[in-house]
Chains A and B, each alone.
Chain A
């Protein structure tokens, strides 16, 4: 849940990057961290296994500038994508303000994408949220790979509600900031609308 501090004049929001294992959630955060000026970011934390798979979450605090004298701070989290870490995924969704679903475009990962998207809907429902009412953006990652599925096919299966969507290659950074800006903007718009 967003937090507005009238004393320190800050608006804090929580964004969660969700998706199947190895889809590039952590790579999105690494790119954002690498390309953001030091004064606009905090330390990036990765709670990962020895083989660098996300164990609990990655965390990156970002400042996106000021609105009407209030600093806007976004806390970016990723979830562990591997199926058996479901309990952790649920916890990380607590208090979420906006979600990015990072899909793996490789045709072989279609099943994993569908499973993860179903899991996202279910876990949000468990926390009292509805994906259709939450600020939500879909990112089709790994578009540069030769085995990437056609966009029409991905759209049909993974974005039936026609949420905002972006093609991306998180390793090169293509589409990474477009995705972040879209979800952050959507969160602020929703926050204002909710008043």
Chain B
């Protein structure tokens, strides 16, 4: 088993800021950044009414299924998807093969504007993921895992 994916406070804060700016610049309702395995990383905009955990898992499943289709077609990953709803539309993009960027928008925005703004934000996020990967590889930040003891794990499962 390879090591876990990690996220550090500095990059987390920066990613949240990128999400917030994208929400504003694209006139979006909300923006979510999701790990490829379906874990929510950052979000911005009108997310209070959203079930972010479920949305993240389903989006990752959707991207995985689309990736499966691309393999059958001998196509490289489909980098973006667009789902058109009656009121809300979803734009989904892969971020450097590491994460999924989801933009929810309505009639106040347009697919063209969202696509344009996503490109810039996506590039910034790739740089932030690179920074996280470098820190993780250098083990420059202390790992919580080295502090966990057997009794910590046992205590979690005591009834």
Residues of A within 8 A of B (CB): 1-8, 11-12, 14, 42-43, 45, 47, 56-57, 59, 61, 64-68, 70, 72, 75, 87-88, 90-92, 94-95, 97, 129, 133-134, 181, 184-185, 188-192, 194-195
Q: Is the interface of A mostly helix, strand, loop or mixed?
A: mixed
Tell me how many residues of B have a C-beta within 8 Å of chain A. 40
Are A184 and B157 in touch, CB under 8 angstroms? yes
Encode B139-157 as 1/0 by CB contact (under 8 A) with A.
0010111111010111011
What 0/1 readout, one digit per residue, does chain B (63-100) give for beta carbons within 8 Å of chain A?
Answer: 01101100000000000000000000000000000000
Which are the 6 A-B pairs with shortest beta-carbon distances? A95-B37, A7-B12, A2-B4, A91-B64, A7-B9, A195-B145
Asked if A88 and B148 make an inter-chain contact with CB atoms under 8 angstroms apart, the answer reads no
**Alpha-carbon distance between A185 and B38 when the two chains are bound, in angstroms:** 21
**B53 at interface, CB cutoff 8 A:** yes
Partner of B5, one of A2, A7, A61, A65: A2
Q: In the complex, A60 Cα to B5 Cα: how many Å?
A: 21
Are A61 and B53 neighbours in the complex by a CB distance under 8 Å?
yes
Q: In the complex, identify which listed stretch (B23-31, B54-62, B101-109, B112-120) lies at the interface while the others stay far away.
A: B54-62
Q: Chain A residues near B68 (CB, 8 Å)?
A: 87-88, 90-91
Contact A64 B156 (CB under 8 A): yes
